[in-house]
Amino acid sequence: MRPPAKLEPWFTADQLVAWVQEAPDKASYQRRLAVWLTRLGPFPAAQVATMLGVSTQAVWKWVADYNRQGPDGLDREGRGGRRWSLLSVDEEQALLGRFAARARTGDIVSAKQLLPEICTAVGREVSLAYVYRLLHRQQWRKLTPRPRHVKQDPAAQAAFKQTSRKRSG
């Protein structure tokens, strides 16, 4: 087992306890507690991870962030989000806003028709799958009438409903 991590002296022991208690949310509290337990024991990262119910790598990362950047190193944003997006959410909404009136009247038939205009807005060639994902992200959905048979006869259907026997349930 690896030895416990060494902590940089950003806080004294009392300041570290106060810093842990001032955590604004559960995730911050958990990260700060990992640093405090590493200093308190000093416990190895595997033991701290077991106590907190997280992975050992997470504890090593939190301690490394604390050592490198100080207490502010743990108050970072998560890794989620749209880091490689071609358009921002607002730009996507503005782009689809231009098509909304045409879509309501039924002028836009398919995503293939949107593809050239989206490519010019993005400034590069994009795939048809990108257009479908963009429409899905903005809660656009395909609304089409139900298919009807070419030989359908509404009068014959109404007559059948009147003369058919009711099934007992």
Q: pLDDT by residue (tens digit) across 108-122?
A: 767 888 899 999 999
Q: Which residue is it, tokens 């503005």?
A: 94
User: Token digits for 27?
Assistant: 């995730």
Answer whether residue 99 shows pLDDT above 90: no
* Residue burial 139-159, b: 16+ Cβ < 10 Å; e: rest: ebeeeeeeeeeeeeeeeeeee
Mean pLDDT of the chain: 88
Whether the upstream peptide bond of residue 154 has omega within 30° of 0, thus cis, is no
CB within 8 Å of 52: residues ≥ 6 apart: 30, 33, 34, 37, 59
Dig out the tokens for 151 from the structure: 């030989």
pLDDT of residue 169 exceeding 60, the answer is no
Of residues 42 and 32, more confidently modeled: 32
pLDDT confidence of residue 132? 92
**CA 75 vs CA 12, 85, 116, 148, 154: distances in Å:** 19, 24, 42, 58, 66
Q: What does the pLDDT read at residue 53?
A: 94
Write down the pLDDT at residue 168. 59
Confidence of residue 3 (pLDDT cuts 50, 70, 90): confident
Alpha-carbon distance 17 to 32, whole Å?
9
Domain positions in the chain are 13-74, 89-137
Chain Cα centroid distance, residue 54: 21
Tell me the C-alpha distance between 83 and 81, whole Å: 6
The b-or-e profile of 47-75 (16+ CB within 10 A means b, else e) is: bbbeebebeeebbbbbbebbeeeeeebbe
> Is residue 25's pLDDT more than 60?
yes
At 31 the pLDDT is 94
Checking if the pLDDT of 165 tops 90, the result is no
Model confidence pLDDT, tens digit, residues 60-94: 999 999 999 999 988 877 677 777 889 999 999 99
For position 109, what pLDDT does the model report? 65
CA distance 59 to 5: 10
One-letter amino acid at 151 equals K
Share of the chain above pLDDT 90, in %: 54
